């Protein structure tokens, strides 16, 4: 069967693959476009499996929020290079995955992978198809979900940092301001009550050792340590931190002023916790030259 330009064009539109790959696959399937699509999907899965071990530490944080403002999700989608992360194919996929996460109720990357991306196609299947298309490993790494009877605020710092914050009371503007603060200041929890006793004991031990070197009396050292622990707790808790838009006011004071409280927050940053491979360009070239 003759492989016409129109047939190649249709296959490209339906799969998003390159012209030469579409033409080659149509030749293999004798012009049967449905068989070509199936073969390309199978080939795509094989290509994706080969790339699964490659480090994907770039990418984007995407937010999707319900119309009533009472629930939202953050999704981290990773790729290997910043170039791909900025491309339309990656961005379109990431935004669509965030919408699926919001609407499906998926609360983990595993549940999201199994969710339906489009009719008869899961997120996992679509991910592998995209890997075959762009030639980089892609992962849907994390999902964070927030709900509230009040307001869920969302903030994106570019596409690298995303924050969700759940408020009782307040409004959208306050929720977004608090989310922006969390993006910048990275609190570990909302309040002192959520700080573990183990962490406080560990910090107290460190402060005691430092203070002991001063040679001051034990009662003075005890007061010094109490003061340092109080300062430490303010630094790591959301409500204890100075508000980024008005450092003369703590977040606790801002919330009280607006008759609101934070019930929880989520903060994701692209690639955090992933050990990136450090490339030495000179060594890489030398190795290739020796191999040649």
Considering the chain, tell me which residue range(s) the CATH 3.30.479.20 domain(s) occupy: 58-147
Q: Are strands 242-243 and 116-118 parallel, antiparallel or unpaired?
A: unpaired
pLDDT of residue 280: 53
pLDDT of residue 46: 47
Pick among 3.40.50.970, 1.10.8.10, 1.10.150.120, 1.20.140.10: CATH of 5-51:
1.10.8.10
Written as one string, the DSSP assignment of 187-218 is -SBSSGGGS-HHHHHHHHHHHHHHHHTTT--H
Alpha-carbon torsion 50, 143, 178, 187, what sign? negative
To 5 degrees, how large is the angle CA 277–CA 281–CA 285? Answer: 120
Considering the chain, tell me which residue range(s) the CATH 1.10.8.10 domain(s) occupy: 5-51
Considering the chain, tell me which residue range(s) the CATH 1.10.286.20 domain(s) occupy: 192-257
What's the predicted TM-score (pTM) here?
Answer: 0.76
Instruction: Give the architecture (CATH level 2) of 58-147.
Output: 2-Layer Sandwich (3.30)
pLDDT of residue 184: 96
Each of the 292 residues of the chain gets a pLDDT tens digit; together they read 678 888 888 887 776 666 777 888 888 888 888 888 777 766 664 455 566 678 888 999 999 999 999 999 999 999 999 999 999 999 999 999 999 999 999 999 999 999 999 999 999 999 988 988 888 899 999 999 999 999 999 999 999 999 999 999 999 999 999 999 999 999 999 999 999 999 999 998 888 888 877 778 878 888 888 899 999 999 999 999 999 999 999 999 999 999 999 999 999 999 998 876 555 555 655 555 555 4
Q: Which CATH class is domain 192-257?
A: mainly alpha
């Amino acid at each position: 069967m003759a492989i016409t330009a129109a047939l190649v064009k249709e296959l490209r539109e339906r799969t998003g693959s390159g012209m030469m790959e579409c033409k080659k696959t149509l030749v293999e399937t004798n012009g049967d476009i449905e068989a070509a699509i199936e073969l390309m999907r199978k080939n795509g899965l094989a290509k994706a499996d080969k790339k699964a071990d490659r480090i994907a530490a770039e990418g984007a944080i995407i937010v999707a929020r319900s119309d009533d403002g009472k629930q939202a999700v953050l999704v981290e989608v990773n790729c290997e290079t910043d170039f791909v992360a900025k491309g339309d194919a990656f961005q379109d996929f990431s935004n669509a995955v965030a919408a699926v996460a919001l609407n499906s109720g998926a609360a983990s990357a595993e549940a999201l992978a199994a969710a339906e991306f489009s009719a008869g196609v899961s997120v996992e299947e679509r991910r592998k198809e995209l890997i075959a298309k762009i030639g980089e490993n892609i992962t849907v790494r994390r999902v964070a979900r927030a709900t509230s009877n009040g307001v869920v605020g969302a903030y994106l710092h570019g596409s690298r940092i995303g924050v969700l914050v759940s408020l009782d009371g307040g409004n959208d503007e306050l929720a977004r301001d608090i989310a922006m603060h969390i993006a910048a200041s990275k609190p570990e929890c909302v309040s002192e009550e959520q700080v573990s006793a183990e962490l406080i004991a560990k910090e107290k031990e460190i402060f005691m050792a430092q203070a002991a070197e001063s040679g001051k009396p034990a009662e003075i050292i005890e007061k010094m340590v109490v003061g340092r622990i109080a300062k430490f707790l303010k630094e790591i808790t959301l409500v204890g931190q100075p508000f980024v838009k008005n450092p003369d006011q703590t977040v606790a004071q801002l919330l009280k002023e607006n008759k609101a409280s934070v019930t929880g927050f989520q903060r994701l940053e692209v690639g955090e916790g992933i050990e990136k491979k450090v490339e030495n360009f000179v060594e890489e070239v030398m190795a290739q030259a020796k191999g040649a």
